[in-house]
Structure 1
Amino acid sequence: MTDSPIISISPATNITNNTTTTQNRKCLRIPSFNVQNYLAEHLHISPYLIAELLRAFISFVCLVIAAFLCTFGIQWSDFRWKSSNYDMEPLVDLGFNMIPQIDYVFLADITMLTLFVGSLVINLIIAKSNTARIVIFRRICWMLSFLLIFRMITISVTTLPSPKKCTPLNPGDFPNMLKNSVDLIAGNVKACTDNIFSGHSTFITIGVILFRVYCRYKFIVYYSYLHGLVALSLLIATRMHYTVDIILAVFITYSAHSIYFFIVDLCIEKHFLKIKRTEDIIGDKELYQRIAYVPNMFNTNLVGVIRWMDGLDIRFRHEAEKARDINWEHSRPSNEMMNETIQIEISQSPNEGEPSHNPRKF
């Protein structure tokens, strides 16, 4: 019985397939009209960079809105403290007993601003690309937006007496509230019940985290730790905040960043590396629940939200197109191969007891 012939085709016969692939690539690259493509075409900037900038602008707008909402909560807290009949004396604080009081409040503001602004500027300068700079800026805006909104809630629900002698703010009508908000953001005025949790400590902790995460110079990172401790101590020494305000601010800020970066890793594993969850790997949901007892994971929706906030979907598409272009360059036939004659070798498998035939070449 004669076996089917074995056909060997040289690599040059892949020209047709590569041509088809080229046509498909061209079809895939036809952009749809939108604001991103329009700006990229007229500004001569990559559409991916435009997309990153647009989301950075959205994050900055959210930060401005959150800042004003937080100042509204501070003014409301001052008004409640002023109109209440409660004791106006400061609470007992262990930090006040340990650190002597100083009257130079501006020292706390200076140390906080120099650490936060310095860390932001330095990390933006030493970043390796414009996209990295945009990502760092956007992450800071998102983190501050969440923390300021959360701070507005904590200040609004509970009013603590001022840790120092102070004249509370008078909100008045809405235009006056806006004016007070601008003065509070600019640092021209100080509120009395701007306590739990500490906004100064939040900015100080973010400054240290910026250096710890993005800075590759260890001596700068170690200096930021020392600068942060001095700045936090000055908050207690100037009686701007209770010790509990500072402790909670450091913990909440660090926790928010830890959760954020953890979910960034989850997004990369799920949407880019296609790594399955434990439940999917086991393949038996009932068995997984008998072991884990977590029928509804709390962070399921956060993965999609952080993916959009951080711009991971933009960078996923960008890296996918880069990988596709690299693979195309490696698989594209050279000019010499294009000019070669296609050579097909057919070898007939011999019957039993018959000598083998030499392959015929065409």
Structure 2
Amino acid sequence: MPVYVDREAPKLWRKICSETTIEISLLAENWKIILGGIIFQYIHGLAAHAVHYLHQPGPLLQDSGYALIPELGEDKAYISETLFSFLFFSFVLWTFHPFIFQSKSFHTVLLWCRVLACLVVCQMLRIVTFYSTQLPGPNYHCREGSKLARLPRPESVVEVLLINFPRGMIYGCGDLIFSSHMIFTLLFVLTYHKYGTIRFIKQSAWLLAIIESLLIIASRKHYTVDVVVAWYTVNLVVFFINKKLPELPDRSNASASLQFLPVSSRDKDGRNKDELHRSNNGTSGHI
């Protein structure tokens, strides 16, 4: 066993270095998209925090999901968050698996460019909807009588910009239609369904997405309409963006990755001169 590890370790290290070189090259070309997507996560968080100042607690709205799905209770609300965290971190780890495993179905940087593009569009639509109409939050800390249901008037702009992270994100109210948790969940499941390779995991991911939807309603974190709108909105956004964006390059051919490696001008000039020399001599360069 130690002999096997000693033999395979250099191969793994070379693969990690090779993948890192390729991904850094791609990141240098697409860093604006990655940075823009990351910055928009703060903008989305800021918008969700700011709408809390407009929230007015009130009686729960009539909801078909609440009538059909038993309430978990405040002490079991962590169940939906636990499942969401599992889905979130599992997807993030999977996007970096080409650095270690032999599977080369996609480039990590290009995949995240696609994911962030879909995520930003969904979040922009979400911001427009929850600012259009503020509904009384169904979550326990958003109900009448809770100290967190209303935020006191901010004393400065800095107080709003800091968004009281992470407490302000966890105990937000007013950002209902549509569910942010379902945006991430469905986007991750759709991405794995398209670029993943294990059928059982694809089926399990869809099942967990359905369970997560039911748990969000059972935890009274969102109304049923928030979850339903997320299901068709995210699917439509991903569908149209996939139509607009070019497909990710196929990495099933090992040589496909070489086109992303940086080539110096000296190499290019040398190669062009060799090709011109062979053309003038009427030879193909083969011995």
Identify whether the pair has TM-score above 0.5, normalized to the shorter chain. Answer: yes
CA pair 335-74 structure 1, distance change in 2 beyond 3 A: closer
Residues 49 and 131, structure 1, Cα contact 8 Å, conserved in 2: no
Corresponding residue number in structure 1 for 2:88: 116
SS of 1:255 mapped into structure 2: helix
Instruction: Give the aligned CA root-mean-square deviation in angstroms.
Output: 3.6
SS of 2:165 mapped into structure 1: helix
Residues 34 and 116, structure 2, Cα contact 8 Å, conserved in 1: yes
Could you tell me how far apart the structure 2 residues matched to 1:221 and 1:171 are?
A: 46
Could you tell me how far apart the structure 1 residues matched to 2:212 and 2:18 are?
A: 44
Query: Superposed, which structure 2 residues align to 1:99-248 within 5 Å?
Result: 99-102=69-72, 103=74, 104-126=76-98, 128-129=103-104, 132-165=107-140, 166=142, 167-170=149-152, 172=154, 173-180=156-163, 182-183=165-166, 187=169, 189-248=170-229
Could you tell me how far apart the structure 2 residues matched to 1:318 and 1:243 are?
A: 47
Q: Deviations over 1:165-184 (max 9, x none)?
A: 42234461222123325326
Corresponding residue number in structure 2 for 1:261: 242
Q: Which has the larger radius of gyration?
A: 1
Equivalent pairs counted in the alignment come to 238
Could you tell me which of 48, 63, 66 is aligned with 1:93?
63
Residues 108 and 231, structure 1, Cα contact 8 Å, conserved in 2: yes
Residues 44 and 123, structure 2, Cα contact 8 Å, conserved in 1: yes
Query: Superposed, which structure 2 residues align to 1:56-71 within 5 Å?
Result: 56-71=30-45
User: 1:154 is aligned with what amino acid?
Assistant: T
Give the deviation of 1:131 after TM superposition.
6.3
Worse-superposed segment, 53-62 or 105-114: 53-62
Give the deviation of 1:113 after TM superposition.
1.8
Query: Superposed, which structure 2 residues align to 1:322-341 within 5 Å?
Result: 333-334=284-285
Could you tell me how far apart the structure 2 residues matched to 1:60 and 1:169 are?
A: 33
CA pair 153-171 structure 1, distance change in 2 beyond 3 A: farther
TM-score by length of 1: 0.57
SS of 1:249 mapped into structure 2: helix
Residues 48 and 172, structure 2, Cα contact 8 Å, conserved in 1: yes
Could you tell me how far apart the structure 2 residues matched to 1:182 and 1:63 are?
A: 19
CA pair 183-253 structure 1, distance change in 2 beyond 3 A: same
Q: Does 1:79 align with 2:60?
A: no
Give the deviation of 1:211 after TM superposition.
1.9
CA pair 235-44 structure 1, distance change in 2 beyond 3 A: closer
Give the deviation of 1:256 after TM superposition.
1.1
Could you tell me how far apart the structure 2 residues matched to 1:157 and 1:105 are?
A: 28
Give the deviation of 1:44 after TM superposition.
10
Could you tell me how far apart the structure 1 residues matched to 2:78 and 2:187 are?
A: 20
Could you tell me how far apart the structure 1 residues matched to 2:49 and 2:27 are?
A: 33
Residues 52 and 151, structure 2, Cα contact 8 Å, conserved in 1: yes
Could you tell me how far apart the structure 1 residues matched to 2:151 and 2:186 are?
A: 27
User: 2:203 is aligned with what amino acid?
Assistant: Y
CA pair 332-228 structure 1, distance change in 2 beyond 3 A: farther
Give the deviation of 1:244 after TM superposition.
0.7
Give the deviation of 1:74 after TM superposition.
2.1
Q: Deviations over 1:11-47 (max 9, x none)?
A: xxxxxxxxxxxxxxxxxxxxxxxxxxxxxxxx99999
Residues 50 and 160, structure 2, Cα contact 8 Å, conserved in 1: no
Could you tell me how far apart the structure 2 residues matched to 1:246 and 1:62 are?
A: 27
TM-score by length of 2: 0.70
SS of 1:257 mapped into structure 2: helix
Could you tell me how far apart the structure 2 residues matched to 1:55 and 1:109 are?
A: 35
Unaligned runs of 5+ in 1: 1-42, 269-309, 337-362
CA pair 56-238 structure 1, distance change in 2 beyond 3 A: farther
Q: Deviations over 1:302-323 (max 9, x none)?
A: xxxxxxxx89xxx9x948x99x
Residues 71 and 181, structure 1, Cα contact 8 Å, conserved in 2: no
Worse-superposed segment, 130-139 or 155-164: 130-139
Could you tell me how far apart the structure 2 residues matched to 1:79 and 1:144 are?
A: 25
Corresponding residue number in structure 2 for 1:35: none
Residues 106 and 195, structure 2, Cα contact 8 Å, conserved in 1: no
SS of 1:182 mapped into structure 2: coil
Q: Deviations over 1:210-263 (max 9, x none)?
A: 220111110111111111111111100000011110111121111111111112
Unaligned runs of 5+ in 2: 1-16, 143-148, 250-255
Could you tell me how far apart the structure 2 residues matched to 1:139 and 1:158 are?
A: 30
Residues 124 and 136, structure 1, Cα contact 8 Å, conserved in 2: no
Residues 105 and 195, structure 2, Cα contact 8 Å, conserved in 1: no
